[in-house]
Amino acid sequence: MKTLFRLRPADSLTIIFLLFLAALSLVFHEKVHHVQTLFFTYALLLLIQVSLIKTTGFFASNRLLDLVRSILFPVVCVLITFNSLGRLVHSVHPRDIDPLLIRLDYLIFGGYPTIMLESISNPLLTDVLQVAYSTYYFLPLSLGLMLKLQGRDLEFDRTLFLILFCFYLSYIGYLLFPALGPRYVMNHLQSKNLTAGSAIAEPIQHFLNELEGIKRDAFPSGHTGVALVVSVLAYQYHKVFFWVTLPVIVMLIFSTVYCRYHYAVDIIGGFILFATTLLVGGSYYGYWQVRKDIDR
């Protein structure tokens, strides 16, 4: 265990999370479809992560290989583990909490936000916000690449850890609080077709639906949490990136409700996710840095 916590925090975090998912798949093996495939997936990712740690010197000797270890594998791991949740979530928690989230929205806002926002919807706004929503997939990658290519490895390592921590926390949230989101549960209440007349929103939505499938990933809003973490890290390490992406991130957060991916209360959950990531993740990373210096 001591050896595990001497590793780069992002690497030890991924190992712990993969072990956690593998253990869940075994505990709920009677309910998980194709559990052998799921367990093999986690085991393979774990094997690759350990192999990358064992060969750190080899990968660090070449910038391109270092990008494979530090950026490509974390991206692949995040995507594959997210995709695996489709099989796992309902095996762990078989009841969706959409009715609770809908009631909370009504209690807080006096109505249903996705329906209330129909009053301002128009094709151009829908296109702009759908594009903003889609930048979620590129914001963390862009910041990480810039830091890595600038040779700012210390800043990159902290950035990678906090972003991965936010992703993995959001996945745990989906396991604990499965919810489909308003685009599925409240579609019959919407009086307007959001993508009617839009130029690009509909194909983007279709592509994302095909890519992600149904994951019950509404609460908390990972889009909100991750985007806010990226924004804070950008402010700390790359001011130009921060100011360029700030309006995009504001639109991204608004788009999660406008485009009917999330209930408004999911966004509140996303802010809690963001705060937890910085408080818990930031505290651990600071502790790890102190321990690393002492152990030298």
> What pTM was estimated for this model as a whole?
0.93
d(CA 161, CA 182): 31
* Torsion from C-alpha of 220, 228, 230, 291, nearest 10 degrees: -80
Mean pLDDT over residues 29-42, rounded?
89
Q: What confidence category does residue 59 fall into, taking pLDDT thresholds of 50, 70 and 90?
A: low
Each domain of the chain, given as residue ranges in start order, spans 1-92, 95-296
Taking phi over 0 as left and psi of -120 to 50 as alpha, with beta for the rest, 33 belongs to: beta
- Cβ distance 222 to 270 under 8 Å? yes
- Predicted confidence (pLDDT) per residue in 90-149, tens digit: 888 889 999 999 999 999 999 999 999 998 989 999 999 999 999 988 999 999 999 999
